[in-house]
Chains A and B, each alone.
Chain A
Amino acid sequence: MATRVKDVQTNVEDLVTAREARAPSRQPLAVPIDQPVTFPLELPESEARLRTPAVGQRATRPDGRLHGLGQTQYIDDITFPHMLHAKILRSEYAHARIVSIDTSEAEKMPGVIATLTGAEVPENSFGPTYQDQPILAYPIARHRGDGVAAVAATTEQFALDALEKIRVEYEPLPAVFDPLEALEDDSPKVHGGDTNIYTSKVIKKGDVEAGLAASDHVFERRFSTQMVEHVPLEPHATIASWDGNGRVSIWSSLGRITLGREDLARTLQMPQSRIRLIGTVVGGNFGGKNEITNEPIVALLSRKSRRPVKAIYSRGDEFVSSTIRHPFIMDYTTGVDNEGRILARKIRLVLDGGAYCSWTGTTIGKGSILAPGPYNIDNVLVEAYAVYTNKTTTGAMRGFGAPQVCFAYESQMDDMADALGIDPLEIRLRNGFSENSLSPTGQSLQSVALKESLTQAADRFRWKEWQA
């Protein structure tokens, strides 16, 4: 065994040496370092993987072993002969009409094989709920992360250099950045029409006004949350390659390939049977890789250039052009009796939806349903609105609105506990769901373990000792 461990260490050192040798400061990038990686084949299997019954075992992961040995192939590790690298030019304005795009100078740059603009995308729209988002913006750019043109070149640097030669003429349009301003009648409209509200949700149970009127105490507060990024270690990455039968293979960091292929068939206007979509090992998703992004761009550049094309987002691309978490503005009004029992809860949510819908439908749905918290409340009213703004598109992110509303409903629970002199644990146990409780949508809940989680957490934390 000892020798095997040593082998692994040596290999790691070799890898580090190879990495350093590749660093631009040490050697020109053009020198290929093809360091063979050897690995042990006979590391012992973890006991838990060999035991039956399988369920409940602390089984280790085969992919974890490959990560540990540096053998996992992320898209950045995959390469093909004659492969090109694609880069995307982003909008200079948060809201503008694109008057013209001239790629001719870029095409004359060294190493440049193909360019692409939105007008060349067969069906230039996508989105899981509404297809309101362009693959490459044309003729309107609605936020600064919108791609307006793309280049495929023999190296990433050549592609980046060529982006600077693309001439885009814009006609700037009035923009709106604040979701509350976007609600106003005279605000600029991100997608035209007479409102920026693009989806809304109502949850209504009992009579909230009567419940508030009957309450001994009413608590009101506004809470708000910020935009955050998923920041996966691996940014969005894609390779596309066509064969002589007009069939395209796409390697992608996408987390949902079945629907990804549907979206590709729609945007590329070709049959699903001619598209092979391979979901590689993903270096972190957290909701940000649940819809196509650069896949159609890379596929079209590959078709134009007749070469495999790879695109890997920079960290900057990842921030400005992938989706991010919805900021919420949350107005909570809650009525309780003297014992801290919640009689009514009235909630208004405004979601900053960014420039396109993306997964807002799911976020507003889950956010609204979960907003009253895991509590038995007879009188509930939730009204939620998602509004377009000329900012980064908000979409799916771990929790779909739940971390936002949990911050609000749980902060207010402690406000109420404090005002009424009730232990925060006790006010939650007094109001919390149990088996067969009715949710805000009238659903009878099963396998409810809220109070068990509260009491076990309190016991582990020794909560009662701290409160004494």
Chain B
Amino acid sequence: MKLTVNGVAHDVDVEEDMPLLWVLRDELKIDGPKYGCGVAACGACTVHVDGVAVRSCQTFLGDVDGPVTTMEGLGNPDEMHAVQAAWLTHQVAQCGYCQGGQMMQAAELLANNSAPTDEDIDDAMSGNLCRCGTYPRIRAAVKTAAKSLQEG
């Protein structure tokens, strides 16, 4: 099956019902998306399919109908996405395991809503669990990222 991830086309020979998460991690060796729950309850595996944030642990490969973007495609240490830069500025992470999913979710939010309110942030981000409890900084970082995107 054909799959485009972060602009690179792949051909994978796996079951159609294999969740995208495991295709990314175990077949394509792309480790940004994390396994946390397997049932779309934590958001650590969040990636974009055609720009939409999805839980890759509950997205079957056969249902992927557009290009996939992971944290690796959003930005990198030398060229950070505004969301990643804001996460660094606020030093949001503790263990950091959920933060890739948090940032993918935040990037989607900001692509659709350039000035989210606290309520917008809660609505968009509450599917992403952080067991370390970094929520206050996540809210602050989303706002900082929104501002820097607005300023271009």
User: Do A and B assemble together?
Assistant: no
